[in-house]
A and B are shown apart, each in its own frame.
Chain A
């Protein structure tokens, strides 16, 4: 049994043909993860007990001839910013080192209801803030493709486990590119769905208006299956959408003939030549598939990073206020100090440097007298960026772009230069700000063998055509 080769389909077939049971598969997946994880540090902890209990349930259902669900027996890893009942959830932070959530995130509930096996919790940048997974309080994750390089971030662990084969599927969170960028760095499929598509209930908030839960998989069809399981209205999230969820995989027919694709000229600048050439090759491939590819313009792109770092940090400064040492999580011991002293010591010791940087930035932009100049203006520019996309989608069905200007960089290479680090999200942040569905699909490798991801962006709730385009591209590459 080689977990690295499994897909949702092959597991379904194997279980049906009784080649293995869900318990056998889970046992092997746990063993393999245990053995392989030290290479990458992608898992923070495995949930053996819970996984095996769930596997036994799946086997029992199958034995009775009942449908155990779309993800029956499939090992799924969960980013450690998504809460799991009775399973420590740290958010990659010292602040929550021993925090035990009393409830499951809706996404986790739905995965298990569909027969998925929660295998463990994955490493990530602290509170999902980072682009290299080097901001984790539990050590960086190494890219399974090149162990001296970062896996991307913030969902670095979730991308790495799928690339490494220590999970078949995983979920991460994407606020400005935190699923797509690590997917592209690790050479797997990563999806950031439409804002509101997947309930955020149980996703520990970084920037509420930008946070999305999204799937990682080794192929487009598996990613589509996992998204469909998680998607749909949830009464516990007021911002979750009631839009119907299509059967994405049923629509993967490989036919993209006649589709209009746009390549924004602003996204082809400042890109390394190797990434650029991979994207250009992808464009040619789409032409060969019968697509009409044209250059388009998204003129407000240049403002995206500034806008993002105002809005995201403002929301973060408020979202992270609850970690004050009073009710749960870390509390710094302050002998004879005041309440304020306890707050200061707890937050000073519990948060890492990047989190503190963003809290300070966010606090500043919301401060009296600065709100209009920063937050309000950023919201206006955000609307302009969204407007760019609306106009573009009047001309094209989807947008093609690089995910990142460069492939996976070396560990430590950018840690001392936050601005350089922030730039790695330059092409993913726009889609986040607009709330449209975007994904990264592998499109080639550099001379050094580093994966390059192609980003496909569609209009709100158009995940179905997005998957169809990605799937056709994936099939053409394999051919």
Chain B
């Protein structure tokens, strides 16, 4: 038998750090890169006597995420304690939602299918253990609790994905949605999005799921796909050779591209969940629920569809331009100014992207505002600026900022459409090119191109070619 005889079943658990200013149960700031153990207080240090108080802003963002993922928000949810010992877990338990999560039953659309969202629940993050980089790292590990108490949501998918590509598409779409609704920056390098995968295989048509393996330590979407591919291969080979998949947690090693066993089911933690007595149940009344739903912006899928429908963009272009809320907002503002969405799209995806990338800038940091880019397109379309000049002006706008008109004036690049000025140049060219004029008048119409070129050259490219054409034709009659 071969791999194709097995159906792959994948479910994902994604942890996302909510973009609040402060932690979930205390008012310590969430700043990435602060010196270790500086953004801490009795609550997030788990000191004796300290108590958690739920951050309303975190609930708002969690609700927003739940609504954006099409979940049913539970009017009553509850926090529980998940008990385990670890040096970077200062309370000896994590405060998480267990049997009564914030939201359930959502969906994420990926190409060709829907992936169900089992649940979205809130929890606090642990600190960070640092095992190397210190002089005595061979003897000690260090703990940084700046991250302890960071607000997280865990988004658990249904086991609906059937290939690593689908898992990749799912997390990509998920990330895009969460960025769009401004729940999180989802910066994986800052640990704002973390992903665990559950994967099993079964023969096509089998009713029962196979034994699942959990894979942890997936630090990028690419690693997720690679880890899944390796693990699927491992499971198929195992079953093919008469073995059996055992329920366990495996770690992905990006260096070797392999997954290795971390702990078996027998050694799985007994987390001894019970309701968190320090917090009251979380009630989301219908007014709150409605307010959050109403505040949701247009989601990426809807925006893509609208860009195709209303602006006549190609599907690929719509996809690219909705990669982030900021980019799609930028495009839309520019297109509104220019009145020409397709050309605007080309400028945004081509020239602008080409300048941003080497400069290492995000669209939100673009020195060229959406309005100015739209203005540029408008100037081209109205004939006030040649395409060639526009290409010259654009990098200068990127360097110096300002409107295209400012740059044109500053650099003396304004197109000459004034017929008086153009006529003077045309007359000069006619008088200095008597031979070509004669040829034209004699019926060799193709000479006109040469004469236009001469006029353009004399005007240092600033003449409006269409106007030059017109004037020349008239004068030569």
Contact = CB atoms under 8 A, between A and B. Distances in A.
A304 interface: no
A351 B274 CA distance: 23
B374 to A, nearest CB: 49
B354 to A, nearest CB: 51
B216 to A, nearest CB: 19
Nearest to A368: B270
A17 interface: no
A300 interface: no
B53 A318 contact: no
Given A322-B48, A363-B272, A208 B54 contact: no
Contact of A236 (B53, B270, B272): B53
Given A208-B277, A208-B278, A321 B83 contact: yes
Nearest to A326: B87
Contact of B85 (A203, A205, A237, A321): A321
B51 interface: yes
B203 interface: no
B181 to A, nearest CB: 27
B48 A321 contact: no
B53 A238 contact: yes
Nearest to A366: B272
Interface size class of B (residues with CB under 8 A): 20 to 34
Given A99-B48, A203-B49, A239-B279, 13 more contacts: A101-B47, A102-B42, A201-B50, A201-B51, A204-B49, A237-B53, A238-B54, A317-B272, A318-B93, A321-B91, A322-B46, A328-B47, A343-B85
Nearest to A362: B272
B49 A202 contact: yes
A322 B81 contact: no
Given A339-B87, A367-B270, A83 B48 contact: yes
Contact of B279 (A105, A238, A320): A238
B29 interface: no
Interface in A350-386: 363, 366-368, 371, 375
Given A318-B92, A326-B143, A343-B85, A238 B274 contact: no
B45 interface: yes
B90 interface: yes
22 contacts: A82-B49, A83-B47, A83-B49, A101-B47, A101-B49, A103-B47, A103-B50, A202-B49, A207-B277, A235-B53, A236-B51, A236-B53, A238-B51, A318-B272, A326-B143, A328-B47, A343-B85, A366-B83, A366-B272, A366-B274, A371-B274, A375-B274
A235 B55 CA distance: 12
A239 B278 contact: yes
Given A83-B49, A318-B272, A238 B278 contact: yes
B169 to A, nearest CB: 36
Contacts of B278: 205, 208, 238-239
B210 interface: no
A375 B278 CA distance: 17
Contacts of A89: 48
Kindly list the 3 A-B residue pairs having the minimum CB-CB distance in the complex, ordered from nearest.
A321-B92, A366-B272, A208-B277
Interface in B414-470: none
Secondary structure of the B contact surface, majority rule: loop
Contacts of A239: 277-280
Contacts of A367: 270, 272
A96 interface: yes
Given A99-B48, A208-B278, A368-B270, A322 B92 contact: yes
Contacts, number: 99
Interface in B27-49: 42, 45-49
B52 interface: yes
A238 B85 contact: no
Interface in A76-129: 82-83, 89, 91, 96, 99, 101-103, 105
Nearest to A91: B48
With most chain A CB atoms within 10 A of its CB, the pick from B49, B50, B54 is B49
Interface in B68-95: 81, 83, 85, 87, 90-93
Contacts of A105: 49
Contacts of A201: 49-51
Interface in B268-289: 270, 272-274, 277-280
Nearest to A210: B277
A203 B48 CA distance: 8
A317 B272 CA distance: 10
B44 to A, nearest CB: 12
Contacts of B93: 318, 321
B131 to A, nearest CB: 12
A238 B280 contact: yes
Nearest to A99: B48
Interface size class of A (residues with CB under 8 A): 35 or more
B401 to A, nearest CB: 46
Interface of B: 42, 45-54, 81, 83, 85, 87, 90-93, 143, 270, 272-274, 277-280
B50 A318 contact: no
Contacts of A363: 272
Contacts of A103: 42, 47, 50
A328 B47 CA distance: 8
Contacts of B52: 238
Nearest to B141: A339
A315 interface: yes
A297 interface: no
Contacts of B274: 314-315, 318, 366, 371, 375
Interface string A163-206: 00000000000000000000000000000000000001111110
Contacts of B81: 318
B231 to A, nearest CB: 27
A368 B277 CA distance: 19
A108 to B, nearest CB: 10
A208 B85 CA distance: 20
A209 interface: yes
Nearest to B143: A326
Given A83-B48, A328-B47, A318 B280 contact: no
Nearest to A203: B49
Interface in A446-465: none
A318 B81 CA distance: 8
B125 to A, nearest CB: 17
B48 A315 contact: no
A363 B46 CA distance: 20
Contacts of A64: none
Nearest to A328: B47
Contacts of B280: 238-239
Contacts of B51: 200-201, 236-238
A201 B92 CA distance: 18
Contacts of B270: 367-368
A324 interface: yes
A335 to B, nearest CB: 11
Contacts of A102: 42, 47
Contacts of B277: 207-209, 239, 315
A18 interface: no
Nearest to A205: B49
Nearest to B269: A368
A2 B352 CA distance: 86
Interface string A233-276: 00111110000000000000000000000000000000000000
A366 B278 CA distance: 17
A119 B201 CA distance: 68
A189 B23 CA distance: 42
A326 B83 CA distance: 16
A326 B52 CA distance: 21
Nearest to B45: A327
A300 B434 CA distance: 119
A239 B279 CA distance: 6
A375 B52 CA distance: 23
Contacts of B91: 321-322
A327 B46 contact: yes
A324 B49 contact: no
Nearest to A204: B48
B271 to A, nearest CB: 8
